[in-house]
Amino acid sequence: MPKLPKITTLTGSSVDILNAIRNNATQNYQDYVPKATPDAESIRKIGAIIMDFPNLQNEFLSALVNRIGRVILTSKMYTNPFKMFKKGLLEFGETTEEIFVNIAKPFQFDPATAESTIFKREKPDVRSAFHVMNYQKFYKVTVSNDQLRQAFLSWEGITDLVAKIIDSLYTGAEYDEFQTFKYMLARNILNGHLCPIEIPSVSVENMKPIIAKIKGVSNDMEFMSSKFNLAKVKTHAKKSEQYFLVNTNFDATMDVEVLASAFNMDKAQFMGQRVLIDSFGNVDSARLAELFSDDPTYEALTADEMEALDKLPACIIEKNFFMIFDNYQNFTEQYNGEGLYWNYWFHTWKTFSVSPFANNALFIPGTPSVTSVTVTPKTATIGKGQSIYLDANVEVENFASKAVDWSVDSEKSFVDISGKVTIGADETENTVTVTATSVFDKTKSDTAVITVA
């Protein structure tokens, strides 16, 4: 189970930091280094002692990074704008299994059939999704002897050194987490994984019908339905579990008081459920390209995709929509005696994923539609008992779902949800036809013909 780290804050001065390190240091360190007092001369005296002994330097910097650094980092880790979506730290394992049990089927009461069905099994509809650690990065910074010596020459020197070591590492990690979050959301929108809801074009004049639409969808989510999630399981989301991600431009246009009433909340309560995003399409492409340069699955957003995403005003997501875990965090350091400097590394491993069972709604100022469905390959020849994977390419407008339902015209062969076709060992037909039908628009489909060898 993931857990949130205990949040501890460190707001002290250089004196507080020096004494915190001393209080937890070895006896040798405490014997040489006196307790700091609130004056610049005391700090300079401690600095002179530490700089004269390499072993004291190592212990001081190690404590500064590994103890003070972790306190600061842990305190900051959960102040990002999307903290409510993170699930915490997974201390063990690299894979999380999310399990959803769909509602049970009803049966007609009939005493006449009870004696023959009493021991018949009825398997529950259990769905699962696996979220795998897919993000392993580290950040590096160097501190020289001269920089350490300068830290003891001014009142704010120690805190400035902490900022150089910790803030530079943390800021890089935090910024990249934010960009990865936005990229993941953008890709899921582009892939049609969010439920599209058509609204009028965004303008001051259209605010009333837009808010009415948002309120209607929010209300509908409170009732059991399979409409608002990718897996099409029957579930619901209370108002308190719904979060409103809103483009900053749309937020500036709408009346927050009116929108809060749409969620049946007062303004103060609603502000906790409202999460601002500068734009659904505004990502740092250069940074992402550097971040995922060795990831073959990374696909950069095109200019047209970013422009289309930028027009989206808002979406509603259930709290458990984002499955984001911290898998591992570690500070480590190494002294280079030849170069007289310390290198520090911050490693951070994470899981970025989304739940197919969580409710969501994407508000689109346009009409979602499916243009075409194309199955490839169109023909194939395989033997009985063998399998082949088919692919369905779905062209859409305005972020309609790209999901398809697969079917086969033979009772002795079958096709699964991924497009894997398996010819039955007892298949009697010479050919079987496999059809992919758009989930969003049942009138759009395509077929492939499999010859049985």
Q: If you write DSSP's letter for every residue of 407-440 in order, what string do you get?
A: EES-SSSEE-TT-EEE--TT---SEEEEEEEESS
DSSP helix/strand/coil, 288: helix
354 φ, ψ (degrees, to nearest 5): -130, 155
pLDDT computed for residue 65 by the predictor = 67
Highest mean pLDDT pick, 34-43, 140-149, 234-243, 328-337: 234-243
Average pLDDT of the segment spanning 73-83:
56
In angstroms, the CA 244 to CA 360 distance is 10
pLDDT of residue 66: 63
CA–CA separation, 241 and 236 (whole Å): 10
Q: Residue 69 has what pLDDT?
A: 56
- Tokens, residue 243: 């979060």
> Residue 207 — φ and ψ, nearest 5°?
-60, -40
Q: At what angle do helices 70-77 and 168-190 cross, to 10 degrees?
A: 30
> Which two structure tokens, joined as six digits, stand for 137?
């990065």
User: What's the pLDDT at 8?
Assistant: 37
pLDDT score of 68: 57
The answer, yes or no, to whether residue 292 has pLDDT greater than 90, is: yes
CA–CA separation, 156 and 20 (whole Å): 16
Mean pLDDT over the full length of the chain = 86
Q: Which of 391, 398, 394, 183 is nearest to 297 (CA)?
A: 183
Can the peptide bond before residue 34 be classed as cis, meaning omega within 30 degrees of 0? no
Q: Which CATH number fits domain 369-452: 2.60.40.1080, 3.40.50.720, 1.10.287.610, 3.40.50.360?
A: 2.60.40.1080
- Placement of tokens 């979602």 in the chain: 368
Cis amide prior to 209 (ω within 30 degrees): no
> In terms of DSSP bridges, do strands 360-364 and 387-389 run parallel, antiparallel, or are they unpaired?
unpaired
**How much is the average pLDDT of 45-51?**
90
**Domain residue extents for the chain:** 86-366, 369-452
Residue 70, pLDDT above cutoff 80: no
Higher pLDDT residue, 371 or 14? 371
Average pLDDT over residues 204-216: 90
Mean pLDDT to the nearest integer, 424-428: 93
Let me know: does 435 contact 450? Beta carbons within 8 Å.
Answer: no
Q: Say if residues 226 and 232 touch (Cβ distance below 8 Å).
A: yes
Nearest Cα to Cα of residue 365 among 210, 247, 246, 252: 210
The pair of structure tokens assigned to 253 is 């246009």
Average pLDDT over residues 199-216: 91
Q: What is the pLDDT of residue 4?
A: 46
* pLDDT value of position 76: 46
As a whole number of angstroms, the distance between CA 53 and CA 32 comes to 10
- For the segment 90-118, the average pLDDT, to the nearest whole number, is 80
